[in-house]
Structure 1
């Protein structure tokens, strides 16, 4: 199956749902969109821009492992 995202005025929602309901459930499935989609997309776009322009903070796997070991050891006792 394929998925598309529709944006429409609230006045036509009922008409759109009426049209879509004419298809069988095997042919069409209506999936509710994540209410935080736009906010998440904006954050991810900003992060991608930082990665592309070289300003993103990163660390090596060894640095991450050392950080995690230190954090875990603080909470072991």
Structure 2
């Protein structure tokens, strides 16, 4: 299957859905878009740019484990 993204005026949504409903579920599947897609994409683009330009901060497994252990122990009480 292929996926496309449509942008349309709200007033024609019913017409579009009526047309699309004429296809079987084997032919067409309507997938609701993630409402946070654009914001998530922006954040990932910023992260990727930092990786590419060398300004991203990376952590070893041991460093992450230490931070997690400290956080867990702080909130256990």
Normalised by the length of structure 1, the TM-score is 0.78
Distance 1:44 1:68 in 2: 23
1:44-59 residue pairs with structure 2 within 5 A? 44-59=44-59
Matched, 1:34 2:37: no
Which structure 2 residue ranges, 5 or more long, are not aligned?
none
Residues matched between the structures, number = 77
> How far apart, in 1, do the equivalents of 2:8 and 2:41 lie?
19
The unaligned stretches of length 5 or more in structure 1 are none
Q: CA RMSD in A?
A: 1.8
Q: TM-score, normalised by structure 2?
A: 0.78
Q: Aligned-pair distance for 1:12?
A: 4.1
